[in-house]
Amino acid sequence: MVSAPTTFADDVKKSQDGIKILLVGDIDPKPFDRYQVERVSQEIAFKGGLLQRMNGVHALGTMTPGCIDQALFEAATSLRVIACFGPEPWSPALEASARKRGITLLNAPDRLVNDEHGHAELIIGQLISLSRQLGDRNMEMHDKIWRKKSQGCYEVRHKTLGLIGGYSTSLSVLAEALGMSVVYHCDIDNVLPFGRARAAPIERVLQSTFVCVLGDTKRWLSSIKHTCLIACMDHVESLQTVVQALHAGTLLGAAIELPCPPPAQLVAGCPNLILTPRTARWTVERQTVCAEHVTTSLLQHLQRITPQLISPPPPSYNSEDQLLSLCNALAGARVGIETSILY
């Protein structure tokens, strides 16, 4: 005998603790304190350890859609909503699978995820670290090598910061507060600069700046000489040109954001190179704001599906109370009609 498929309300009623939420990665759990919350690290999730924890999970929160696959949809029979706290979009394949199984996909909007000031703080920290070769000194100290070195280490005062591909008011203000000059080249016309920042031809930005923040690495990477590079790359293959320039001394240093870890043999022994994932937006403050928004969206979604579990139930009446209420309503309506006729 084939049993009828269980609904979301049936799944939650069977769980004594109510709605169960599983959070993957560095997500602030404070907005979810009213629920039964379990947490799992992002490393475990990417190694396949997420499937064993999906039993009875109704809502899944993750930093990136990369840990979600078709096998998870098949294993999570109680899953009804997935909330992504990052800016990465859902793939068409995952959207189709979720739609087929009746699973709702939620995202934090770009207006909450994009944080210009937070990104500017990170760039300022990177350019100071590169100018003083702090990454190399840190690795040497971990290897019990005590080395004081002034060659190739510079102060950022009276240096020029070049921005290519976009202009950031927050970054310009922070750089000028450190005593730096700011020049930029932007493809968008009529960009209004702030402070003493000035637009400049692309050749001047590439050749006369101490630190260059590059938006298009494929287009201008080969033109940068004797400067520090801060860039975000979409492909690890572009990193090989940077590594060669650092070994040759044509680049003073580089801070690169990558979508995935590079080959170990490519970056082994490379001087003054800072490699990070795309961490500009991932802070406690930013994740708290995103968590509050996604929590609101999640609560609204659950209220639409199972209002009896979250909202207080409507007052119950017996048959006599219902009949009396109906008679009183009809009597009031009749009095109102007669009064309107008399006047």
Full-model pTM: 0.70
If asked whether residues 236 and 272 sit together in one domain, one would say: yes
Helix ranges (H only) for the chain are 8-14, 42-44, 70-75, 92-101, 110-113, 116-132, 134-142, 169-177, 202-207, 217-220, 239-248, 264-267, 284-305, 307-310, 319-342
Domain assignment present for residue 326? The answer is no
Q: Is residue 262 included in any domain, yes or no?
A: yes
Does residue 343 carry a pLDDT above 50? no
Q: Domain holding 202: CATH number?
A: 3.40.50.720
The band of 109, judged by pLDDT with boundaries at 50, 70 and 90, is confident
Relative to beta strand 251-257, strand 198-199 is unpaired
Q: Are 294 and 108 in contact (CB under 8 A)?
A: yes
**pLDDT score of 275 more than 90:** yes
The predicted structure's pLDDT at residue 329: 56
HSE-up of 63 (CA within 13 Å, CB side)? 22
Residues 132 and 266 in one domain: yes
Q: What angle, 0 to 180 degrees and rounded to 10, lies between the N-to-C axes of helices 116-132 and 169-177?
A: 40
Residue 252: inside a domain, yes or no? yes
Q: How far apart are CA 299 and CA 311, in angstroms?
A: 10
CA-to-CA distance for 189 and 64, rounded, in angstroms? Answer: 34
User: 134-142 vs 116-132: helix axis angle to the nearest 10?
Assistant: 70
Query: Of 27, 18, 19, 23, nearest to 292 (Cα)?
Result: 27
DSSP structure string for 165-198: S---HHHHHHHHHTT-EEEEE-SSSS----TT-E
Q: What is the mean pLDDT of residues 125-134?
A: 95
> Among candidates 299, 259, 297, which has minimal Cα distance to 108?
297
Indicate whether 87 and 122 sit together in one domain: no
Residue 341 resides in a domain: no
Rg of the chain on CA atoms, in Å: 29
Instruction: Return all residues near 112 (Cβ < 8 A) that are at least 6 apart.
Output: 286, 289, 290, 293
How many domains does the structure of the chain reveal? 2
Q: Are residues 133 and 243 in the same domain?
A: yes
Q: Domain check: are 126 and 251 in the same one?
A: yes
Domain of 181, in residue numbers: 115-276
Higher-confidence position of 338 and 252: 252
Same-domain status, 31 and 98? yes
Is residue 142 predicted with pLDDT exceeding 90? yes
187 and 94 both lie in a single domain: no
- Considering the domain architecture, whether residues 195 and 272 belong to the same structural domain is answered as yes
Which one-letter DSSP state was computed for residue 45? I
Query: What are phi and psi for residue 181, nearest 5 degrees?
Result: -95, 150
On average, the pLDDT of the chain sits at: 79
28 within a domain of the structure (yes/no): yes
| One domain, residues 254 and 136 | yes
**Residue 172 falls inside a structural domain:** yes
Cα dist from 28 to 61, 63, 94, 112, 231, whole Å: 10, 11, 25, 15, 28
- Mean pLDDT for 201-206 is 85
Lookup: tokens for 144? 């019990």
Q: pLDDT (tens digit, 9 = 90+) per residue, 147-161?
A: 999 998 999 999 999
Q: Is 82 left (phi over 0), alpha (psi -120 to 50) or beta?
A: beta
Pick 81 or 335 by higher pLDDT. 81
Residue 11 within a domain: no
| Same-domain check for residues 145 and 227 | yes
Residue 136 pLDDT grade (very low, low, confident, very high; cuts 50, 70, 90) = very high
Residue type, 268: A
Q: Is the pLDDT of residue 9 over 60?
A: no
Q: How confident is the model at residue 138 (pLDDT cuts 50, 70, 90)?
A: very high
Task: Report whether pLDDT(41) > 50.
Answer: yes
DSSP 71: H
Asked whether residue 2 is assigned to any structural domain, the reply reads no
**289 and 272 within one domain:** no
- Strands 227-232, 211-214: pairing is parallel
Residues 154, 236: one domain? Answer: yes
Q: How confident is the model at residue 243 (pLDDT cuts 50, 70, 90)?
A: very high
Show the CA angle centred on residue 225, arms to residues 180 and 277, nearest 5°.
Answer: 75
Per residue in 19-32, pLDDT tens?
888 999 888 788 77
**Using 50, 70 and 90 to split pLDDT, how confident is the model at 217?**
low
